[in-house]
Structure 1
Amino acid sequence: MSRLELIDEDIRNIPEYVPGKSIEDTARKYGLDPSSIIKLGSNENALGPSRKAVQAIVDNADKVHLYPSADAGELVDALSMYLDIPASNICATGPGMDGLLDNLMRLIIQEGDEVIVPIPTFSYYEIAARANGASVKYVERKESFRVNTEAIQKAVSSRTKVIFLCSPNNPSGDLVPEPDIRMLLESFPGLVFVDEAYVEFAEHSVTNLVMEYDNLIVGRTFSKIFGLAGLRLGYGIMPSWLKKEYMKTATPFNVSLLALKAGVASISDKAHIEKSIAMVKEGRKYLQERIPFKVYDSMANFVLVDVSPRSASDVCETLLKKGVIVRDCRSFRGAGNSLIRVTVGTREQNVRVVEAFRST
């Protein structure tokens, strides 16, 4: 028996998560000065974190020998005020929203259960579900990546536990219309998970529906609008009955002390939030109008570019040599070979990425 056989075969067959390229790896591979590289491949906030969040980290650095609160109550209370949602419906979690997904799948999934994932979309839904014994039904999206709710309903079986929706969707940037979400919530007896990682840059959220439907979970993150990707902080908004069960299996102290303090400070910095949203809306329009390929409408802090008849790998390689990191979307199941995701950056970064595209 080989050591590898100690790992369940279903786990061995799960595709690896493919992250965006780092500045350090790009600099080494292409012999570039790291300071000359712009990273627009991971949907990070180009403005960085709130100064209040940074100060909160500094102020609490000498307390890291102490455990944080078990339920991140201080952060949950701040989120309750931010969202105007009762604290009894909110769970803070780490690492990022991925921690929320992992724990939910551990809580809900039994061997042989199914989940439904409209593709292309964020790949971690599949990874978290399969790692806990579920099989995945993939439903292709309609033209312009609109979710096909009719096809989702047809894919539901007696073993379906969760339907995953990403709104705005990663990598396409489109919102799932609220009537479509309501239709699924009302026709499906299982749970509907709506990933709103990018919703602060959009026009509409469905967090209010959690108080109306007892089978809706909304996932959020501090990695995007709040610029805290390196602290790996997320949260879920869910029915109170589910939060009670969720907390039984949540990893103890899963939100670190520094993440908790930085999260609370970030929520309080309304000016930084507004500045981040304004930067994204202005930059998104700039990229949509000036990148010399088809660019899809987006409600997120990125745009999706179709470089056909060229390949994404070819164009991305050319951009990397120029010190511009964007995201080749071939690793997104069902995305094809010609899509590239570009994070909205600062004005200077956006100008540079447009110039790089024009010279490919």
Structure 2
Amino acid sequence: MSRPELIKEEIAGIAEYVPGKSIEEIASKYGFHPASVIKLGSNENVLGPSTKAIESMVDHAKDVNIYPSADASELVDAISVYTGLPVENICASGPGMDGLLDNLMRLLISAGDEVIIPTPTFSYYGIAACANGAVPVYVELNEDYSLDTDAIMNAESDRTKVIFLCSPNNPTGRLVEEADLRSILEHTRGLVFVDEAYIEFSDGNVAHLLNEYDNIIIGRTFSKAFALAGLRLGYGLMPAWLKAEYMKIATPFNISVPAVFAGIAALSDADHLKKSINCAIEGRDYLKGNIPFKVYDSQANFVLVDVSPLRSKDVTVSLLEKGIIVRDCKSFRDAGDSLIRVTVGTAEQNKKVVAAFEDASKLL
């Protein structure tokens, strides 16, 4: 027996989030041993986490009978050192940056409020906003995947509460130009959320704008460069006035003790972070130079491949049949049917990816 009438009306129109395929799923479907499957569909760090983070997590596992600090203050202090921002501008969040988004939408959105989302981009912005009664206003990116700032500004209304910008953008890998961001910040009466999940792999960030604007929020994660995706750990950088309001509704104790201290240790391991960044930069250059289709410039740990005139579905399946998981971008709004997102792997994995795309190109 089901009782759908009990579910909020806002939920009915939400499309379910589509995650990347798992190793177990592909191994079972295509008859591979799980260890032979190459998973490059979820933008995970292929080097794995820092040994310091693992050791710290294990050391603090014995303390899981005790609640963590309500606001993860130890981790916030470490993030303050890492970012150079005062603790008054920092909120730790779990699960991952998604928890930050959920809390912000709970804090900001009333039924009928609008959010502006340039597409194609990460789909969870729309899910979190719609679940709280927001009306999403989608604005397509320019043909080269840069922001159409005029279209974003023209889409704003007196109901606009939040504009979502992803930098580097998922799935395109393109950074938001600071000049464009400044124009939007100065134009809007709402808040601008900048998702910097992949920022460590890029040429710059916009955290310094917190010193100039009182309507910017920056979301970050430990899932990518710090390789702690399984711990679901993130944080937000925001004006002090907003943090004071945010903490009123933030779920207390939402980051486990092992995750808090693993995050602190990961931030302290500069060598491992540098290796992860170098791996991504070298790998994406190799993929761009060798995949026999159009590959867009990227500032993230993935590249976007346009396989037209072939369809992304067909090419993705051809790679899956070789035990290589990549991401068909068809589930991204306004991404079309020829784009594939490929996480940067190890040097050996990248060579196999190139060879698989070379085989796929023979379908032309």
When the two structures are superposed, what TM-score results if normalisation uses the length of structure 1? Answer: 0.99
Counterpart residue number, 1:119: 119
Sequence identity (%): 66
Distance in 2 of aligned mates of 1:48 and 1:290:
25
**What is the CA deviation profile of residues 253-280 of structure 1, one whole-angstrom value per residue up to 9, with x for unaligned ones?**
1111111010000000000011111111
Distance in 1 of aligned mates of 2:257 and 2:208:
29
Distance in 1 of aligned mates of 2:85 and 2:91:
11
Counterpart residue number, 1:56: 56
User: For residues 159-308 of structure 1, what are the structure 2 equivalents within 5 Å?
Assistant: 159-308=159-308
Distance in 1 of aligned mates of 2:210 and 2:326:
35
Q: Which runs of 4+ in 1 moved over 3 A?
A: none
**What is the CA deviation profile of residues 224-247 of structure 1, one whole-angstrom value per residue up to 9, with x for unaligned ones?**
000000000000000000000000
Report deviation, 1:359. Answer: 1.1
Distance in 2 of aligned mates of 1:307 and 1:112:
39
Counterpart residue number, 1:325: 325
Report deviation, 1:143. Answer: 1.5
Counterpart residue number, 1:86: 86
Report deviation, 1:10. Answer: 2.3
Distance in 2 of aligned mates of 1:9 and 1:358:
47
Distance in 2 of aligned mates of 1:201 and 1:83:
15
Give the root-mean-square deviation of aligned CA atoms: 0.8
Task: Classify the secondary structure of the residue corresponding to 2:235.
Answer: strand
- On the 8 A contact 2:104/2:246 being kept in 1, the answer is yes
- On the 8 A contact 2:10/2:132 being kept in 1, the answer is no
- Structure 1's unaligned 5+ residue stretches are none
Distance in 2 of aligned mates of 1:246 and 1:86:
16
Distance in 2 of aligned mates of 1:252 and 1:61:
19
Say how many residue pairs are matched.
360
Residue type of the partner of 1:125? Y
Distance in 1 of aligned mates of 2:316 and 2:287:
16
Distance in 1 of aligned mates of 2:10 and 2:180:
33
User: For residues 67-146 of structure 1, what are the structure 2 equivalents within 5 Å?
Assistant: 67-146=67-146
- On the 8 A contact 2:76/2:90 being kept in 1, the answer is yes
Task: Classify the secondary structure of the residue corresponding to 1:336.
Answer: coil
Counterpart residue number, 2:45: 45
Distance in 2 of aligned mates of 1:256 and 1:186:
38
Distance in 1 of aligned mates of 2:167 and 2:235:
16
Report deviation, 1:2. Answer: 5.5
Distance in 1 of aligned mates of 2:10 and 2:30:
37
When the two structures are superposed, what TM-score results if normalisation uses the length of structure 2? Answer: 0.98
Report deviation, 1:212. Answer: 1.1
- Structure 2's unaligned 5+ residue stretches are none
